[in-house]
């Protein structure tokens, strides 16, 4: 059995599995991005419109981080100008959907509690 301090992913060491998971999906916007990508690929502007309070810088940084962690993929279509860039979940990213859906369901529950 591995010691918890030996958990490594993409060159980083984590103290436990929960720490690894929260590093990948934690923060204000990552889970929201995954929620919007759950039904298929979207362009940057579509994501931006779906999340009107996020800044362009923050959205770009979070997309890059999720891509580095192999949770989403960035697809560039070069057929004709302007270039089209799409974001979608990877196979690994899709395994997070039960967690994302549970978070969304809990949010629905909280706003409906009387």
Give the domain range for residue 9: 4-112
49 CB burial (10 A radius; 0-12, 13-18, 19+):
exposed
Tell me if the pTM is above 0.85.
yes
Report the distance separating Cα 1 and Cα 97, nearest Å: 28
Per-residue model confidence (pLDDT) at position 83: 85
Q: Does residue 62 carry a pLDDT above 50?
A: yes
Per-residue model confidence (pLDDT) at position 67: 97
Per-residue model confidence (pLDDT) at position 1: 46
> How many other C-beta atoms can be found within 10 angstroms of the C-beta atom of residue 87?
20
Domain count, the chain: 1
CATH assignment at residue 58: 1.10.10.10
pLDDT in tens, 22-37: 999 998 999 999 999 9
């Amino acid at each position: 059995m591995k010691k918890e301090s030996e958990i490594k992913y993409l060159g980083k060491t984590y103290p436990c599995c929960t720490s690894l998971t929260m590093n990948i999906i934690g923060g204000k916007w990552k889970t929201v991005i995954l929620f919007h990508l759950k039904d298929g690929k979207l362009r940057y502007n579509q994501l931006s419109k779906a999340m009107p309070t996020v800044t362009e810088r923050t959205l770009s940084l979070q997309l890059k981080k999720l891509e580095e962690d192999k949770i989403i993929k960035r697809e560039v279509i070069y057929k004709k100008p302007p270039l089209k860039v799409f974001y979608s979940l990877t196979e690994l990213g899709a395994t997070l959907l039960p967690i994302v859906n549970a978070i969304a369901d809990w949010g629905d529950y909280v706003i409906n509690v009387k």
